[in-house]
Structure 1
Amino acid sequence: MDQLLSVFISVADKRNFSRAAEVLHMTQPAVSQQIQQLEKHVGAKLLLRTNKSVQLTKAGEIVYLHAKEITGLYKRMSMLVNELNNEPTGPLKIGASYTFGEYVLPHILARMKNLFPNIFPSVQIGNTRDIAKAITSHEIDVGIVEGEISLRNIYIKSVSTDQMYIVAGGKYPIYFNKEVTRRQVEQENWIVREEGSGTREATETLFQSLQIRPTKLMEFGSTQLIKEAVEAGLGISYLSELTVKKERMLGTIQVLNVKGTPIKRNFSVITESVELHTKSMNLFIELIEKYLKNQLLQ
């Protein structure tokens, strides 16, 4: 059954029998036979062939969703059994929100590569909502996100806190005020992240905390792009201490002195049930905790 599901997933992903056969190192007739066996087993047509591609039927969509979960759990089971008496090895699928993924994760991966060269990480970067969804659909093994997470059947562990600052470009006029009032920041152009990101959630929380309602908002889908815009004087933003450390040292971005800031938020690791943690996952989480602890001590 595991083989049938793997073949079906490949055909569904490639939307083509020939391309799936190439990836699976099988002949096209063999792939077609496997699909027919699976359809006979579940008692429903799973794929519709057209001249150019293959489409999932309604039954196919249901089987595809559960097949991904089943094969993911089977691989996890095999890895857990294998790791009982062996060194951690094999793939580790990691998901991270933009702030953590772009500014912290590369340092941790470099450390892990030096200590455990037989662990092979792959990384998916997305906003907090995307990473949480990837955990629940078994697309990744472990996720690192910022902000509050409220999901059932998910293991959540806070690993560090993060300071959030209102920032402006080094030559931005509002910076030269000794203390910036809430009214002043409310009237400024705000450069914010998209809905669903941890940084956007933190920004909305900030607005509530300061009791302001800025009306001039510009949404950008990247923290790096926001920093560039802030440096250029396009507006102000609310960013993590980790993301602006270098720019503050260079003087291209400055923190605004606004009463009620900075505000702390959590970095959290999210996974499935802790009982399903592999050695690789636990070692990776330990490396995260050690790295962030050292950063706070600096």
Structure 2
Amino acid sequence: MDQALLVFITVAEKKNFTRAAEELHMTQPAVSQYIQMLERNAGTKLLDRSSKYVQLNKAGEIVYHHAKEIVGLYSRMQYLVDDLLHKATGPLAIGASYTFGEYVLPRIIARLQEQYPLIQPAITIGNTKDISEGVAGSEFEIGIVEGEFPHEKLHIEPFAEDLMDVMVSSAHRLAGQEPVAITDLAEETWIVRESGSGTRDAVESMFARLGFRPRSFMEFGSNQLIKESVEAGLGITLLSRWAVRKEIALGTLKRLHVQGTPVARRFYLITPATKFHTRAADVFRELLLLDRASIPL
């Protein structure tokens, strides 16, 4: 691996030469020499320096982005070589969008650890767009998302179905109505996820299919915040049945029976578009596909 790239990445993330040196178990002059060498090779300064911190300039941002990808590819290459021994070991970087990552993935990881204790999973939760770009950029070896994000560097396959319902507080005026008219839904404030989220895509598709547009929106970046807000009576929402199981059991949220719901969508498994995958990624994928029979609701 190019040590200069690793040093540069660490300095950029720590924003400080001293902290980067401590992280890398190097002297500060050695760190400075690597940065100077990289800047000479690039033909330009990559960092803006002050007495308190350093930060990337425009050229540095370009180098940092590609350096992360290069280092990730090198690590992946090494694990693939190690996997010729057919042992499922080592780190496994998994990216998952919020619904699957928060409500389904934990029990699958528990099964993975039971069967393959030498695998070290590291999980990142984000929206569909972020996770897909992370897999394409070699930040994650495998991703699970709730919406399609076509990309030439990705292999995308649907593997399970998710069902989504319109949810309200149990004290909401519509909670006792059955069925609920579309016109009633249009008058409500809808609490929705941010753009780039698979849940937001599902909401927008439902609006188009049912032929209405709500009078007002509130946009939040997490399912938990949306649930808390709906419970507080701030509005209504569309969420996966996985996300609201506890609230339904506790009686704090209630499903509305609306024509055209529940909304069905798919969970997608995304991997780099290459025939080479680590043994850890392969066994996780196999476990995920074996477990999918229990995922649909």
Aligned match of 1:126: 126
Structure 1 residue 230: deviation in Å?
Answer: 2.5
Q: Per-residue CA shift, 1:140-176, capped at 9, x if unaligned?
A: 2221110232222211111111111112223322132
What RMSD over aligned residues (CA atoms) do the two structures have, in Å? 1.9
TM alignment of 1:150-161, pairs within 5 A? 150-161=150-161
Q: Point out the more displaced range, 146-155 or 64-73.
A: 146-155
Rate the CA distance shift 1:47–1:170 in 2: closer, same or farther, 3 A.
Answer: closer
Count of aligned positions: 297
Instruction: Using structure 2 for the length normalisation, give the TM-score.
Output: 0.93
Aligned match of 1:108: 108
Q: Distance in 1 between matches of 2:268 and 2:176?
A: 36
Structure 1 residue 280: deviation in Å?
Answer: 0.9
Q: Distance in 2 between matches of 1:241 and 1:30?
A: 54
Quick check: 2:160–2:295 contact (8 Å CA) kept in 1?
no
Instruction: Using structure 1 for the length normalisation, give the TM-score.
Output: 0.92
Structure 1 residue 35: deviation in Å?
Answer: 2.2
Secondary structure at the counterpart of residue 176 of structure 1 = coil
Rate the CA distance shift 1:170–1:57 in 2: closer, same or farther, 3 A.
Answer: closer
Q: Point out the more displaced range, 147-156 or 46-55.
A: 46-55
Rate the CA distance shift 1:246–1:289 in 2: closer, same or farther, 3 A.
Answer: farther
Q: Distance in 2 between matches of 1:197 and 1:35?
A: 37
Aligned match of 2:20: 20
Rate the CA distance shift 1:168–1:27 in 2: closer, same or farther, 3 A.
Answer: same
Quick check: 1:230–1:236 contact (8 Å CA) kept in 2?
yes
TM alignment of 1:212-223, pairs within 5 A? 212-223=212-223
TM alignment of 1:286-297, pairs within 5 A? 286-296=286-296
Which letter maps to 1:134?
G
Q: Which runs of 5+ in 1 are unaligned?
A: none
Quick check: 2:94–2:140 contact (8 Å CA) kept in 1?
yes
Which letter maps to 1:129?
K
Q: Distance in 2 between matches of 1:177 and 1:57?
A: 57
Matched, 1:139 2:139: yes
Q: Point out the more displaced range, 87-96 or 169-178.
A: 169-178
Q: Distance in 2 between matches of 1:67 and 1:234?
A: 44
Matched, 1:6 2:6: yes
Q: Distance in 2 between matches of 1:253 and 1:61?
A: 45
Q: Distance in 2 between matches of 1:113 and 1:33?
A: 42
Structure 1 residue 212: deviation in Å?
Answer: 0.5
Matched, 1:164 2:138: no
Q: Point out the more displaced range, 32-41 or 100-109.
A: 32-41
Quick check: 2:146–2:268 contact (8 Å CA) kept in 1?
yes
Aligned match of 1:92: 92
Q: Point out the more displaced range, 132-141 or 193-202.
A: 132-141
Structure 1 residue 228: deviation in Å?
Answer: 2.4
Q: Distance in 1 between matches of 2:289 and 2:76?
A: 23
Structure 1 residue 36: deviation in Å?
Answer: 2.6
Structure 1 residue 103: deviation in Å?
Answer: 0.6
Q: Distance in 2 between matches of 1:175 and 1:55?
A: 52
Aligned match of 1:148: 148
Q: Distance in 2 between matches of 1:236 and 1:46?
A: 48
Q: Distance in 2 between matches of 1:152 and 1:104?
A: 28
Which letter maps to 2:112?
M
Q: Distance in 2 between matches of 1:36 and 1:218?
A: 48
Aligned match of 1:80: 80
